[in-house]
Structure 1
Amino acid sequence: MATRAARNLWLIDKAPIDEITEARLPSKEQVLLRYYHHHREMGKTASGSTKAVVEEVLPFWSRAGIPTTTVIHAGTKLSKLVKVYNDLKKNKNKDRPKHRMDEEIFKRDLKEIFNLAHSSSLQRADVKDEDKEFLRSQREDRGESSMAGIDLVTAKKVEKQVERGTRLKRLREREDSGIARLTERAEIPSQSSSSSSSPVSTTSSPARGSRSQRKKLKQSPSISVKDLNLISTWDRENLSVRQAMSTFAATAQVLGMDIGSMAVSKSTVHRARIAGREQAAEKIVELRNQEIPERLVLHWDGKLLPSLSGDTEDRIAVLLTGEDDAEFLLGIPASSD
């Protein structure tokens, strides 16, 4: 087991700490010691250690009622502090006055707070005067004030908001990584939007195998990211690229398609949406250029058509006809009855 002296960090001459317990805003020294606890003793990566320390430090500012900078900016600030320390450590054996002076300045700055306050904290009307005064005193001298007088009810409320935001961020990261694992391998084969039958293997003749097997292959449902109906639905429901990718992967699984043979990435969905919108725009221009007859007749008729699930469903074909054999198919919506 390593002795305490062996655990001490160079220049700081203190060992990494297990937690920050003071009723004051954390100092640069405390933040640096916590970073090396995660990085050196817990074996976490540099980015993982930075993230863990930021999540520990932000609640101190929340309890003090002081608005903070973003999590990303806080992580960048901590990374810069670690880099300055490592740069000094590289030059520790160089006997130059400049290096010794830089070390002394760094040691003196470690006593200051690790400032995560928002740039407008002292000007905002929603920040209490006593909280602003506390921030000023902490910036000048950390030892002069503490958080003993903070409103605990407000502090707990803000701390729960921070924890809830962290949980939501982790859930979104897990969702994104899960989708990426499901859909990262190969591109979907190109197929026409009007085709609804799945491809049949070319290694065997349709004459081979039973009639029921051929019928099953013929009616097997499929789905493509290039389907215009699917793309228009994404746009109509205002789905983001990530949401569109997630719904496509889930639908493909329900239809029994092999997710491992697909590669539905965000860029794939984005390119398909752009191409689909261009095709839709061309169709609109084509329809506008057609001459509309003066007299039109509206027709509708119920039809039993195959659905994506492989069953049949009742749909209504709506058609406009006019002179000179003009025909306009308005749509084939599903019957609500």
Structure 2
Amino acid sequence: MATRAASNLWLIDKAPIDEITGARLPSEEQVLLRYYHHHREMGKTASGSRKAVVEEVLPFWSRAGILTTTVIHAGTKLSKLVKAYNDFKKNKNKDRPKHRMDEEIFKGDLQEIFDLAHSSSLQRADVKDEDKEFLRSQREDRGESSMAGIDLVTAKKVEKQVERGTRLKRLWEREDSDIARLTERAETPSQSSSSSSSPVSTTSSPARGSRSQRKKLKQSPSISVRILTSFQLGEREKLSVRQATSTFAATAQVFGIGALGVWRSRRARSTSTIAGRSSAEKS
């Protein structure tokens, strides 16, 4: 059984790690240790190990709100880091002052972040100022800052988005259930009258019954309320005009009601309300 000292990497004097943790952007040392965990201990290929490490590192940058380079470029950067380490390891027996100095410089550089930021991250308008400042501080001194605060803000935003999406889904499911129930009620009288009619009148009765039923549906206050409720739901949930219009038209179509007519009714009611307010203000 190999001891921990035996599993430590040369020069770094640390064993490969099971995961990358912390509230800072991953360092080159962490990335290198994680790579050798996949490659040496998990038995993955070099390309497979690079891919696995990049997939683990990129979410840290995403949580920090910083635009990153491509996955291919990140893999190439990791490949160069591994090659540099292996080159030093091959020449570790060379006893020359310059070589020893280069090793110490390389070891010190491993404490810096494994920088995957896009070249335009600090100039882009869609990157927040606090995120840009965090990147600068991480580049200058990785130990001086953390993204604990950024994580909390991001977590709250995600929580609100999930909550809003769940609420919206429940509201639409309730609307669909009401529409299905009303449609079922509307079809029942037509089916019963069709079954009780004589064979001679079966060809024309369903059509007349269907038109008659649609006429009743058009005049039904409850259906108008459901359609207007669907429209108000779109307003309350801040849907886009296109989304609200599609939902509104689909609801009207279920009941055989012209969407344009209901829109006009809605517009006329809004206009009359505004006119009433204006006259009240003048008086």
Stretches of 4+ aligned residues off by more than 3 angstroms: 153-157
CA RMSD of superposed structures (Å): 1.4
Task: Please tell me whether the aligned partners of residues 65 and 155 of structure 1 are also in contact (alpha carbons under 8 angstroms).
Answer: no
1:119, CA displacement in angstroms? 0.2
For residues 279-310 of structure 1, give each alpha carbon's deviation from its aligned partner in whole angstroms, at most 9, with x where no partner exists: xxxxxxxxxxxxxxxxxxxxxxxxxxxxxxxx
For residues 112-164 of structure 1, give each alpha carbon's deviation from its aligned partner in whole angstroms, at most 9, with x where no partner exists: 0000000000000000000000000000001111011112248869xxxxxxx
Give aligned pairs, total. 157
Aligned to 1:48: 48
Task: Please tell me whether the aligned partners of residues 18 and 34 of structure 1 are also in contact (alpha carbons under 8 angstroms).
Answer: yes
Higher relative contact order, chain-length normalized (CA < 8 Å, sep 6+): 2
AA paired with 1:48?
G
> 1 CA distance for matches of 2:79 and 2:4?
25
Higher gyration radius (CA) = 2
Aligned to 2:62: 62
Q: Does 1:131 align with 2:131?
A: yes
Aligned to 2:27: 27
Aligned to 2:145: 145
Aligned to 1:77: 77
The structure with the greater share of residues assigned to strand is: 1
> 2 CA distance for matches of 1:86 and 1:16?
15
Task: Please tell me whether the aligned partners of residues 31 and 53 of structure 1 are also in contact (alpha carbons under 8 angstroms).
Answer: yes
Task: Please tell me whether the aligned partners of residues 137 and 144 of structure 1 are also in contact (alpha carbons under 8 angstroms).
Answer: yes
> 1 CA distance for matches of 2:155 and 2:63?
9
Q: Secondary structure at the match of 2:148?
A: coil
For residues 170-198 of structure 1, give each alpha carbon's deviation from its aligned partner in whole angstroms, at most 9, with x where no partner exists: xxxxxxxxxxxxxxxxxxxxxxxxxxxxx
Q: Does 1:100 align with 2:96?
A: no
For residues 210-243 of structure 1, give each alpha carbon's deviation from its aligned partner in whole angstroms, at most 9, with x where no partner exists: xxxxxxxxxxxxxxxxxxxxxxxxxxxxxxxxxx
> 2 CA distance for matches of 1:155 and 1:113?
27
Note closer, same or farther for the CA distance 1:7–1:38 as it changes in structure 2 (3 Å cut): same
Note closer, same or farther for the CA distance 1:94–1:71 as it changes in structure 2 (3 Å cut): same
Unaligned runs of 5+ in 2: 160-283
Select between 8-17 and 144-153 the one with higher mean Cα deviation: 144-153
Unaligned runs of 5+ in 1: 158-337
1:40, CA displacement in angstroms? 0.3
Task: Please tell me whether the aligned partners of residues 24 and 145 of structure 1 are also in contact (alpha carbons under 8 angstroms).
Answer: yes
> 2 CA distance for matches of 1:43 and 1:154?
39
Note closer, same or farther for the CA distance 1:154–1:83 as it changes in structure 2 (3 Å cut): farther
> 2 CA distance for matches of 1:92 and 1:156?
49
> 2 CA distance for matches of 1:155 and 1:55?
23
